[in-house]
Amino acid sequence: MCYAIPAKVIKIKGLIAIVDYFGEKRKILLDLDDIKVGDYVYAQGGILVRKIPQEEALIILEAWKDIFLELQKTDAALSQLDQSQFSQNALAVLQKVNLRKSLNQSEMKTLFELEDLQELSVLYEIANHVRQREHGNACCIHGIIEFSNYCTNNCYYCGIRKDSAIQRYRMDVNEVISVAKHAVDEYGFKALVLQSGEDYWYDEKKLVEVVKAIRAMGVLVFLSIGSRDQALYQKLYDVGARACLLRFETSNEALFDKLRPGTTLKDRVDLIKAIKKMGYVLATGFIIGLPGATLDDLINDILLTRYLMPDMYSFGPLIPTKGTPLANCPMVSKELVLKTIAVSRFVDSNANILVTTALETLEPGAKREGLMGGANSLMINVTPARYRDLYNIYDNKAGNEDSINNNIQKTLELLKSLGRAPTDLGVH
């Protein structure tokens, strides 16, 4: 099985290479020595992760060729536009989007305030059109391994917070490596997110061992381990980790202080900036619908995300979770999340926007709507079944009831029906 199409290197300039996918060009960073024009490679998150022999690449490309052209056609057909439905106000804002002008806060608000379902469906279509214009039919798929649910923090929203009375687990170093190997060998993943609570049992030595071993499998090592020291992140970069998911959660300082006791927004944002500066591919974002957050906060969340210049936007709805202080909060509407995807696509047109599992948890089928409304990447959980329910950052996580194979099949069918291909999105 294959979650990435090999690309051919057609030009090299310093550390940047231009690669080709059936005529589509992408810019990627060379992260391996010994690459020359004509080589076939896999890229993930804009980074070259593995060179593959020409014969192997040609066989895979042959198998993909017709499917790829078919996917391109489907995607183009699904990205057609009809703007006739709009009110004048919203139309004026969308004309700016068409002209690639940036939106101010009040224009973002105009879009968030749309309620008519017909208008909203056109809003999502336009976001999808912009996504298609910027990225073609590329869609990246990352595997995620939840390797420990121990956490020293007490974030109010999170089901694995320190004070949660839950059964804890932690894979040891060898187990993480063997789960990763299985995801790479059996399922074909080319990028793996390693996620955990803030678990200090995982010290530098253990994390270095994990990162080195997984990088050696020829995949992108993507960390999601919370607010650990900058020095640790630097060390892990040095041994091969290349991407990092760290959300700032909310741009509202008072809310942050309340919901993440003992930590500050400034420290979190400083760490995100430092990680970006180290060279990591950065995914960041926020939670939608935290109690007390206003529409202005949500708009600021989008703007702070853009300011941090991430390679990927990662945001999702709050899922109120039993045993947490936010257990009784109201559920966020699916429309608010879809509007956030669309508006993010408009304010940062070439962003990569992740559809999170939390959106699908809100309403089955919402993942498809997210992908049809401006989003262009997703993750598949490859945590072994015995741990999945224990990694309960929120309740009723979508996909937990299914086997990994089923989730993969369903995702591939979904992407096929939407005309999306697993080519890499490249760097900008």
C-beta of 85 vs 153, nearer to ligand SF4: 153
Radius of gyration of the chain (CA): 21
Nearer to ligand SF4, 108 or 160 (CB): 160
The residue type found at 348 is D
263-290 burial, b if ≥16 CB within 10 A, otherwise e? Answer: bebeebbebbeebbebebbbbbbbbbbb
Binding of residue 269 to ligand SAH (CB under 6 A):
no
Closest approach, Cβ 268 to ligand SAH, in A, equals: 9
Q: How far is the CB of 134 from ligand SAH (least distance, A)?
A: 25
**CA gap 405, 408 in Å, rounded:** 5
Window 209 to 228, contacts with ligand SAH (CB under 6 A):
224, 226
Q: Cα separation of 175 and 181, whole Å? A: 10
Answer with the entry of ligand SF4, ligand SAH, none that 161 interacts with (C-beta below 5 to 8 A by kind).
ligand SF4
In angstroms, the first-to-last Cα distance of the chain is 28
Residue selected from 30, 94, 319, 347 as contacting ligand SAH according to rule CB under 6 A: 319
Helix, strand, coil % in the chain, rounded to nearest 5:
40, 20, 40
Q: Is 226 in the site for ligand SF4 (CB under 6 A)?
A: yes
Torsion sign across C-alpha atoms 122, 126, 347, 29: positive
Q: Any contact of residue 393 with ligand SF4 (CB under 6 A)? A: yes
**Alpha carbon distances (Å) from 337 to 134, 328, 354, 371:** 21, 19, 12, 12
The listed partner (ligand SAH, ligand SF4, none) that binds 222, CB under 5 to 8 Å by sort, is none
CA distance 284 to 290: 17
Instruction: Choose between 43 and 271: whose C-beta lies nearer to ligand SAH.
Output: 271
Q: What is the largest CA-CA distance in the chain?
A: 60
The interface mask with ligand SAH, positions 156-195, x = CB under 6 A, is -xx------------------------------------x
What residues numbered 403-422 form the site for ligand SAH, per CB under 6 A?
A: none
Question: Smallest distance from the beta carbon of 295 to ligand SAH, in angstroms?
Answer: 19
Give least dist CB 187 to ligand SF4, A. Answer: 25
Single residue of 6, 46, 136, 197 touching ligand SF4 by CB under 6 A:
197
Q: Does 393 bind ligand SAH (CB under 6 A)?
A: yes
Q: Could you say whether residue 245 binds ligand SF4 (CB under 6 A)?
A: no
* Residue nearer to ligand SF4 on the CB measure, 122 or 151: 151
Interface with ligand SAH in residues 372-391 (CB under 6 A):
none
Q: How far is the CB of 298 from ligand SAH (least distance, A)?
A: 14
Question: Candidates 28-36, 72-80, 150-158, 375-383 — which segment interacts with ligand SF4 by CB under 6 A?
Answer: 150-158
Q: Dihedral of CA 148/243/418/404: which sign?
A: negative
Cβ atoms 326, 291 nearer than 8 A = yes
From CA 336, how far away is CA 343, in angstroms rounded?
10
- Alpha helices (H) along 279-388: 295-307, 334-347, 357-362, 366-371, 385-388
What residues line the site for ligand SAH (CB under 6 A)? 157-158, 195, 197-198, 224, 226, 246-247, 249, 287, 316, 318-319, 321, 358, 393-394
What residues line the site for ligand SF4 (CB under 6 A)? 151, 153, 155, 158, 160-161, 197-198, 226, 393
